Each structure stands twice: as structure tokens, then as C-alpha cells.
Amino acid sequence: MSRSFHRLLAALLLVAAAPVLKAQSSVRGPLSPEHQPARKFQSFPEERWDASSFAPPGAIDWWRKARLGLFIHFGVASLKGVELGWGRGTRAEPDRGTGPIPDEIYDRLYQELRMENFDARAWVATARSAGAGYIVVVTKHHDGFHLWDTALSNYKITRSPFGRDYIKEIVDACHEARMPVGFYFAQREWYHPHYDPRDRFPEKDHRKYIEYQFAAVRELLTKYGKIDILWFDAAWWGGMFREQDWDSERLYRMARELQPAILINNRASIPGDFDTPEQHVGQFQHGRPWESCITLTKRWGYVPDSPVKSLAEVVALLVQTATGDGNLLLNTGPMPDGRIQPKEQAVLSALGDWLRLHGESIRDTRGGPFRNGTWGGATYRGDTVYVHVLRWPGETLRLPALEEKILSARALTGGVVRLAQDQNGVSLSMSPEDRDPIDTIIALKLDRPVSTIHARPAATTLFDGPGYGDPITGSATLRTSSPGLAGDRPVSPSALFRGENDGAVFLTRPERAPWAEIDLGSVKNVKGVRIVNSPGETGTRGIELLLSADGRTWEEIWRADALAPEWSVAVTQFVAGAHIAGRPARYLRLRLPDDEARPLRLKQLQVYGDELPR
């Protein structure tokens, strides 16, 4: 496969080493099997959900039609090329760890902030030319620095050499251009003297922090005219943050009183108006609105040597979000002088050019009627379905049956489409020279508007959606701690990796800490591992997964805390306080604890991921 193709696949969900913040989706009622990993899905009792605060009916329609927004991360950390907030030395519980810049230095960085080339109108023009339908700008990150002229603190941008109200200039430019604008506001904050959501310090009074937070949000929503979005950032993440930490329901209701049509995300441990998967494309979700926020480089703020995504990667992200019925909030981190980096400008401009040609298949559409996958996906509007093929699965793309009759098939990207439709499904094919190298778009004209979304579940397992890449065990090899047999047959790696067996594919001898090791052949970006037990197997209790790039240094990634027919292990790493999908690894080892002599046996094992970008 080509180098550019691997890079495109890598963009479908994650960009390795870019921070992914905490809990991201809210669910009314109990979780379903496809809600994996469970820590990313906060479940609410139906009565609690129904009693919560939401935008009025129809208020979110403009946002859904836009499909693309521009996220802007700028702050004092941009001066040093480190992440906003996470670059500061001290963090407050429940967050842990330390940043690279001591507090006494970080907290004085604003004294160097000049932004001599900042032009808010130029930023808005960049967003418009990229095809973005709205802008979300950081007002305060976890470092507590206020990017507006607040009356609540002297730690603010108007006391810097820049000396102006940065937020006011951006909002004024947005209003002038009729560009909807939203505010990012981080509740978790490590500068305020009373921030203490876990009540660990007697000298602090977190209630005073909550009072400050209400006053700050009130100030932001009353100083600058119409504000369209409020983007909080201290999400649930398996209970790490809670509704009472922010008095969230009262906070949301206050915001809606001040700005009646405002849209508010779900990152305050209550449902809000939309979900917020971060640094990955969310799963297909046709009922509840969602927005994936993803960086244009590998960092949120300005980090000068962080590589920028290609046009193909950004188009893949936009296509996968739109075909999943979500939005893409694409992030840029401007330079210390106030300009957007030229390399980011170039990609944003190219994206705008692409949307001017093909925007009809993205904007003002809904995801479906086919569920998206690694091949691509579909959007629709009325009686037209737009099939986006990012990766042809072979000579022919086969799709589920439609209730409507297809009258015509036309490639918006050029070329001849061959169509076949019957009661079993839809088949599309094009000669290789007619396929677009980035995204082949085929418009299907139907005899009537789309009536139903194909009922197949979005994901049979965590890895069946568009985001975790493909199985990468096709040419892998297997070795075990001791010779084993599957019944009377020798160990078969291909059977293990493809599941071509009824029972266990192999078993080791009974021994203490038995293991099986998979060699992928080269270092790859490992994103997930699916481990399947043989029927009725109980001997795999406590099984562990370890990864290694060189076969010498191993890192434990996961351990089963209970028996299950199968496990879906999302492989992540922790960078700048955030979880990131994918780790570079060549070797995977499954190991049982050293507690008693027993054999290791498994039915199936699949490793998901993609090639590392070169």
C-alpha cells in the first residue's frame, strides 16, 4: 500500500500523540454492548435525562447543517510551544502529574504576550475560506489565564503587553462576518486559589470557585452580544468529575436564560445538547447530535515542530464524521505573534477548495442510510444519497438493500459508475483509473426520499466501526511459552487470527505464567486487540496484555478483571493528561498470572491499527 494511503487510514479516527480529553458521550438509559470503552459513555436514568436542560427545539439545526467548525487554541503556553494548561507545572486533584514549566515561570508568561500580528478578521476569513460554519475559541484553559477583559481577576490578557480584549475582537469579527461563534471555557482549573473539587485542602473552599465560575460564565455571555455555543471541558470520564463539582444543571440553566438559543456540550457531567468525542471519529449516531474535535497537527496549541495533517487525512476525517451523522471541529493553534501557521493555512485553504467542489455531499446532509465503516460511508438529503468511498474493498462496493429504487448513479468526482440493485443490496463499481485518490463520491438519485436508516448495529464489536483501522495480524507469526496443540492439530496462527475454528485454536502445556507472543513483522500503530475465549473457557482468568516495540522492553497495557466470552481492549497512551488511541508496537504478549500451573488457550485474537506515518 502507498505511504499516502496509510496516512489517510490513520486519520480515520485518531492522530497519535494528540491529547484526547476525558468522557465524551452521554446516553439516556443503560449502556448497550456497542458503548465501548464504557468509561467514555456516561449513562443517565431516563427520568434524570428528561429533567435536564436542553436547547429549544430546532436550535441545533443550523449547527448540524454546517458539519464543520474551526476550534482555536491560543494562550500563554503558545509562547513556549507547550500545551495550554498542561504545560503548567502544578495540577490539582483529581488531575495528577506535572507540566514542564514551573508555576512561577508559567504564571508570568503573560508579561511576554504581544501578538503583534494578530488580526481577528483574518482568522475569521481563514475559517470561512476553509468551509467552516462556526468558530469555537478558548476563553480560559486549565491554567486559569483569562483571554478576555474580566472584572474577576488580574490574571488576564488586558494586563499583558498586548493589552487588548482578544475575545471581544474575535467575537466582533465573527458578528461582522455573520459567523456563529462559541466559547470554550474550562471548569477544571489549577490557578484559582479555591479550586478543590475533591475537598482535599481545609484552607480551600470550592464553593467559592463555583461562585467565580458562575460569575465568569455570566460575564462572557453578557459582554459580547450573541454567543452561539458554550463548550465546557471537565467531563465525567468514569466519575473523575461529577455534576456537583460545577453545580452543572444550574450553570446550564443560567446560560440558557442569558442566551436562549445557545448550544452547550456535555462536558459537565450532564447530557447537554451534543456529545464530544475527542481526537477520534465518533460512532454512527443518528439520534443524538455529536461533534468530534480533532487537531490539525498533533497538538492543540502551537508546537512548532508538530506535523500538519494532509488534505487527504482531513477530508477522511470530515467524511467519516459526516457519514456518521456528526460534526468535525477542526483545531488550529496559532503562533505567538498571532498568525495561523502557513502550513496550517495551506491545508485549510485546500479543504475549502475541496468543499467548494464537493460540499453538497457534506453540508446540510444527514449520515446514512448505510452505516459507515473503514471503506467510507454515506450521507443523504431528500432523495439523493452520497456514497463516499475512501477505500475500495475490492473491485465492487456492496451495500445493504434500500427500500427506494435507485434511478441513477453519478460520480461527482468523475468517471463511470456501474450500478446493480436487487432485493439483496446495492453494488457499485468503477474502474481503478476513475476512482478518486482521496474520496470517490457517487450520487445516487432515488425515486423518493430516504425513509429508513439501515438497521445493522453500528458496531458488533468496538473495532467494527471506522476508527480503529483494520486487522493487522494478516502476516503475523505466533510463538508460545511451550508447544501446544489444538485438539489433535498443530498450532495454526492463521486460524487464531481469523477465527477459523470451533474451539481453542491452541493451548500451551499446563505451566505457571504461560504466554503467547505475536510478532506483527514491523512496528505498527496498535489501536486495539480483540481476544476471544473458546466456548466455556474459564482458564483465562486474569489474562494480561503486554506490548513491546523491540521484544525486550515490555509494558503491561491491560488485565482482565473478570471472565468474559471475549474482550475488546482499546490500546491507549497517556499524554498531557489525556488518553490517546494507539501505541507503536511490533510484539504483543498474552500472559496468565504466575499463580498456578494451567494452560493458556484461546479461540481468536485480532490486532487492529495501521501503519505508522512516515
Query: In the structure grid, which three cell numbers stand for residue 469, read together?
Result: 483501522
- The cell numbers describing 143, all together, are 491554567
* Domain membership flag for residue 37: no
- SS3 state at 13: coil
Rounded-to-integer distance, Cα 602 and Cα 588, Å = 14
Per-residue model confidence (pLDDT) at position 487:
45
Is residue 46 a part of any domain in this protein?
A: no
Amino acid at 187: Q
Extract long-range pairs of 541-544: CB within 8 Å, 24+ residues apart. Answer: 542/592, 542/593, 542/595, 543/590, 543/591, 543/592, 543/600, 544/590, 544/591, 544/592, 544/593
Distance CA 13, CA 470 (A): 12
Percent of the chain with pLDDT over 90: 68
pLDDT single digits (tens) 74-96:
999 999 999 999 999 999 989 88
Three-point CA angle 597, 589, 281, nearest 5°: 135
Section 355-371 average pLDDT: 97
Is residue 516 one of the residues assigned to a domain? Answer: yes
In a shared domain, residues 172 and 251: yes
CA 315, CA 348: separation in Å to the nearest integer? 11
67, three cell numbers: 458539519
* In 1-83, beta strands by DSSP E: 25-28, 41-44, 68-72
451 with 543, same domain: the answer is no
Mean pLDDT of the chain: 88
In the chain, the N- to C-terminal Cα span, in Å, equals: 13
Query: Which set of grid coordinates corresponds to residue 425?
Result: 443490496
Q: Extract the C-alpha cell encoding 93.
A: 486533584
- Determine the pLDDT at residue 466: 56
pLDDT of residue 462: 62
Q: Is 81 exposed, middle or buried (0-12, 13-18, 19+ CB in 10 A)?
A: middle
Name the grid cell of 228. Answer: 452561539
Strand (E) or helix (H) holding 546: strand 544-548
CA distance 432 to 343: 31
DSSP-derived pairing of the beta strands 263-264 and 229-232? parallel
Higher pLDDT, 8 or 388: 388
Domain residue limits at 373 = 366-462
Pick from 357, 377, 400: which residue ends a domain?
357
Give the other-Cβ count within 10 Å of 319's Cβ: 30
Domain-terminating residue out of 300, 333, 357: 357
Tell me, yes or no, whether 71 and 100 share the same domain: yes
Dump strand ranges (E) for 450-490. Answer: 470-471, 477-480, 485-486, 489-490
CATH number of the domain that residue 372 is part of: 2.60.40
The reported pTM is 0.81
Per cent of the chain over pLDDT 70 is 87
For residues 331 and 294, is the Cβ–Cβ distance under 8 A?
yes
* pLDDT score of 12: 37
431 within 8 A of 416, measured Cβ to Cβ: yes
Residue 386: the pLDDT is 98
Residues 375 and 351 in one domain: no
pLDDT greater at residue 534 or residue 112: 112
Q: What pLDDT, on a 0 to 100 scale, did the predictor assign at position 570? A: 83
Give the Cβ contact number of residue 546 at 10 Å.
18
User: Is 231 within the bounds of a domain?
Assistant: yes
Whether 19 is covered by a domain: the verdict is: no
> Within its chain, how far is the Cα of 508 from the centroid?
39
Q: Are residues 416 and 518 in the same domain?
A: no
Of residues 381 and 38, the one with the higher pLDDT is 381
**For residues 13-21, average pLDDT:** 33
Model pLDDT for residues 276-302, shown as the tens digit of each residue: 998 888 888 988 999 999 999 989 999
Q: Same structural domain for residues 79 and 145?
A: yes
The C-alpha atoms of residue 298 and residue 313 are separated, in whole angstroms, by 13
Of 326, 357, 388, the last residue of a domain is 357
Report the domain count for the chain. 3
Same domain, 440 and 511: no
Cis amide prior to 161 (ω within 30 degrees): no
- CATH number of the domain at 253, please: 3.20.20.80
Let me know if residue 55 belongs to a domain.
no
Q: What share of the chain is helix, strand, coil (3-state, %, to 5)?
A: 20, 25, 50
With a cut of 70, say whether residue 590 has pLDDT above it: yes
465 pLDDT tier (thresholds 50, 70, 90): low
Residue with cell 508555576: 103
**Rounded to 5 degrees, what angle do the CA atoms 494, 498, 499 make?**
110
**Residue 272 and residue 413 in one domain:** no
> In this structure, are 452 and 480 located in the same domain?
no
Residue 265: strand pairing partners: 274
pLDDT-derived band at 459, boundaries 50, 70, 90:
very low
pLDDT (0 to 100) of residue 456: 56
Split at pLDDT 50, 70, 90, the class of 503 is: low
CA pair distance 592, 531, nearest whole angstrom: 13
- Shared domain check, 533 and 407: no
Three-class secondary structure of residue 404 per DSSP: coil
| pLDDT > 50? residue 266 | yes
Are 353 and 337 in contact, with CB atoms under 8 Å apart?
Answer: no
- In this prediction, residues 127-142 reach a mean pLDDT of 98
Q: What is the CATH number of the domain that holds 479?
A: 2.60.120.260
DSSP 531: E
Checking if the pLDDT of 20 tops 50, the result is no
Q: Is residue 147 part of a domain?
A: yes
- Given a cut of 80, whether residue 614 has pLDDT beyond it is no
Distance CA(491)–CA(514), nearest Å, equals 15
Q: pLDDT of 413-455, one tens digit each?
A: 999 999 999 999 999 999 999 999 999 999 999 999 999 887 5
User: Dihedrals φ, ψ of 610, to 5°?
Assistant: -160, 175
* pLDDT 10s digits, 311-353: 999 999 999 999 999 999 999 999 999 999 999 999 999 999 9
Task: Mark whether 401 and 302 lie in a shared domain.
Answer: no
Are residue 481 and residue 567 in the same domain, yes or no? yes
pLDDT band at residue 11, thresholds of 50, 70 and 90?
very low
Q: Does any domain span residue 24?
A: no
What integer pLDDT is reported at residue 536 of this predicted model? 66
